[in-house]
Structure 1
Amino acid sequence: MKRIIVWIALLLGSAMDPLLAQRAEINYAFDTRLDREAFQKDYPDFLDAVTLEVKLSKGNVLLLKSQNYRASRLVQRPDSLVGLFWQQYASFLEQVPISGEVLSVVYRLEEGQPAQIRWKKYPVRAEEFSVVEGEVVQLKTGQDTLRIEVLKTNQQRAELYLLLNDLREVPRLLDELREKTIFLVQALEQELKPKVLERSPEVYGRYLGDRQVRVGNYARDMLIFSPGVSLGYVRGHWHTAYHNEMTLYLDRFRLKTRLGFQHQFFFDRSLEGTLQMFENHFLVAGFSFFEKTRDSPGLGHSGVKQEAQVTVGYLIGRQGTYYEPHTWRVAGGFNLTPFLKVEPELYFHGAFKQLSPGLRLTVGF
């Protein structure tokens, strides 16, 4: 029975192959959050919008790159692509003397076109050896590189980079490539969800060995709603307020457009001593500033948190004598915590008549 299961897995090439059928769950005790800045330092001027890194044995590394997550599926089975390359060109490359040299190979697969290959050799200063994971390996000033480009007629494009101590190690790495890459992709989609990844302009994942992964998606185009309540002071009066604003978060723009309303409630006693409530309503528009991060409580969207806002409001509903007709409100908000912000305000009407400063403390998103 076990042999039948193994043969079915090999024929289907699925995630339930003999290697992955024994995999453990993702180690969530390990910090799975990815530090994008640290990742960029490791690969300066190299990361694409979607980049997946897989640490292989003996210091070898696999990198998968694409402009979006959908295109990355073209290279999410690197063992198939690398195996195809090796099947077609191993006999030629084995004739290329590479001792003491770094070999760079580019293998291009374009839909509807024959496969293309080219390679270059770069000399190294001297040969060095060391012991890695109990095996003797040759150290170089640079690694051999296998780059596979995959292009489809629908303009989707993805790239695979295999950084190797020795290009002749390719056949030995095929099973490892399959197992670790599938594990990383499954971890990515389990934590961030495929639909979210499809909308995310930046997706990164790292397999660091021992079934430990770090993943992150950094922002995407979305609507963010920010309800809240506040306590304010203006013109000698305390008041409460309820407000709800939405921000159009477009990742390619630093300033995010903000639109909403604010209902202010003033309380006073009449001549008869009864408590009265006076409502004043402002229509609000402005800009918000965000920071990209994996920790963003309150927004409901991983990857961003709000830092500050600048808004202009116009009085559209008035009760009492707290404001004159056609009153404007200018405010700047600064987030002290994800749920608490302070807002200095300035009220005036007409051509900056009767300037009145105010201050507001808001609890909300």
Structure 2
Amino acid sequence: MKKMICLWMLASSITGVVCAQEKKAVTNEDKTFELPANKITRSFWIELDKGNKMQVELVNIDDLEQVGNVDSLVRMFLQDLAPLKDSLSDELSYKRIDYVTDTKAKKIRIYKGRSNSNSYLIQRGEVAALKLEQDTIHFLGKVNNGHPYRFSFFVNNWNELAAYADGRLNDKLHTLGTKYNTDWMRGEDGRMHLTKDYLISAKQSRGYLSPGGDQLELNAAASIQNYKNYFVPGFSLGGAVIASSIFHNKLVKHVLGVYWEPNFFFGKDSDGKARVYRNDFLTLVYGQGAAKQPGKKPDLTFTFSLGYLIHREGDYMAPHTFRIGMGRMSLFEGKTKVEPLLYFNDFFKGVTPGIRLIQYF
């Protein structure tokens, strides 16, 4: 009989696990203490000290202006937590504290956990228990337009949070809110760092969680290429639409651009005087690839370009010349590209191969 009961309990527990995996219902507790699904579009990290960090999660970057004084928020949290300090007295347990401020009645949730193993620090013959996991504190709220936000602190001990309510958090958030649209640089950790404050970082420039967002880019670039036995410099001006959200696979970005691209030949006119001959192409470019920030390593991208000669000087190029580019090698975080070319006219007559080096600004 005991064997039957044990088998039944084992079977029911396995079934319960399977059911839980198949259907994860959103509980009232989740609705209260967790962010709504698929709302957050920006995420930033701020390095503090002693290995402590702050994470900022927003629906819109403009929401940062409406959050208010973060130092006051921290002090209010510590004041509300004071009656519960006894429940946090175990220094070896790691804690997660959720603090909700989007309603008149503020709410606090406390979770405590311990590692399955014990860790110790041995120093000068003395042994002390060692805590290896950081405490996590989440501040959840809403701004006036109803957008949720979350500020998270990952600290060695929850009571270290009080030391940061000295103005530095407000300074960091002010820098983020006013400088996020300036230059970002890739650090050795692979993350993008705000050049105005390297301690502010994100997975992608400007903190996008989606692949950089749909956007319109205006581009300028200089180029050099070979055409037959000529060395041909040039430049390009134009714009491109970058889209990912309208496609089923949002991890792939699609780029469609139009560019004016003058090319310059150097020669002599009929009087023997040196002259520059300009030949202009109107170029249509389509490309697609992984929606991620370009890295430092060379990367081959799928890019197709089709150009048509719209302005001709000299006899360097035949009338009605087309130029096709297939694929580009991306170098130096995408600023430099190498593109193989194929020139032809009148339905693949006078086919001439070439290669072009493009430097974007």
TM-score normalised by L of structure 1: 0.59
Give how far 1:364 is off: 6.8
SS in 2 for 1:80: helix
Map of 1:261 onto structure 2: 260
Change in CA separation of 1:78 and 1:311 when aligned onto 2, cut-off 3 Å = same
Map of 1:327 onto structure 2: 321
SS in 1 for 2:234: strand
Distance (Å, rounded) in 1 between the aligned partners of 2:359 and 2:89: 69
Distance (Å, rounded) in 1 between the aligned partners of 2:137 and 2:269: 83
* Aligned-partner residue type, residue 214 of structure 1: L
Map of 1:355 onto structure 2: 351
Aligned ranges for residues 121-160 of structure 1 at < 5 Å?
121-125=112-116, 139-160=130-151
SS in 1 for 2:146: coil
* Aligned-partner residue type, residue 158 of structure 1: Y
Aligned ranges for residues 1-365 of structure 1 at < 5 Å?
49-56=42-49, 60-73=52-65, 77-95=69-87, 98=90, 100-111=92-103, 113-125=104-116, 139-167=130-158, 169=159, 173-185=161-173, 193=179, 196=182, 213-216=198-201, 218=205, 221=215, 223-228=217-222, 230=224, 232-234=226-228, 238=230, 240-248=232-240, 250=242, 254-266=253-265, 279-287=278-286, 292=293, 310-319=304-313, 322-331=316-325, 334=329, 342-360=338-356, 365=361
Change in CA separation of 1:77 and 1:249 when aligned onto 2, cut-off 3 Å = farther
Q: Is the 8 A contact 1:138 1:165 kept in 2?
A: no
Distance (Å, rounded) in 2 between the aligned partners of 1:153 and 1:48: 18
* Aligned-partner residue type, residue 162 of structure 2: L
Q: Is the 8 A contact 1:313 1:328 kept in 2?
A: yes
TM-score normalised by L of structure 2: 0.59
* Aligned-partner residue type, residue 259 of structure 1: V
Across the aligned residues of Structure 1 and Structure 2, the Cα RMSD in angstroms comes to: 4.7
Change in CA separation of 1:152 and 1:340 when aligned onto 2, cut-off 3 Å = closer
Q: Is the 8 A contact 1:65 1:159 kept in 2?
A: yes
- The number of residues matched between the two structures is 289
* Aligned-partner residue type, residue 199 of structure 2: R
Distance (Å, rounded) in 1 between the aligned partners of 2:359 and 2:182: 28
Distance (Å, rounded) in 2 between the aligned partners of 1:56 and 1:363: 39
Give how far 1:91 is off: 0.9
Whose RCO is larger (CA < 8 A, sep 6+)? 1
Which string of whole-angstrom CA distances, capped at 9 and with x for unpartnered residues, describes residues 147-192 of structure 1? Answer: 211122413332122334544x26xx42434344245446657xx8
Matched-pair identity in %: 21
* Aligned-partner residue type, residue 200 of structure 2: V
Change in CA separation of 1:205 and 1:267 when aligned onto 2, cut-off 3 Å = closer
* Aligned-partner residue type, residue 286 of structure 1: V
Which string of whole-angstrom CA distances, capped at 9 and with x for unpartnered residues, describes residues 300-345 of structure 1? Answer: xxxxx99896421012234555444432111355466788765432
Q: Is the 8 A contact 2:66 2:144 kept in 1?
A: no
Distance (Å, rounded) in 2 between the aligned partners of 1:204 and 1:363: 23
Change in CA separation of 1:50 and 1:249 when aligned onto 2, cut-off 3 Å = farther
Gaps of 5+ in 2: 1-39, 184-190, 207-211, 245-251
Gaps of 5+ in 1: 1-46, 207-211, 296-304
Q: Is the 8 A contact 2:119 2:130 kept in 1?
A: yes
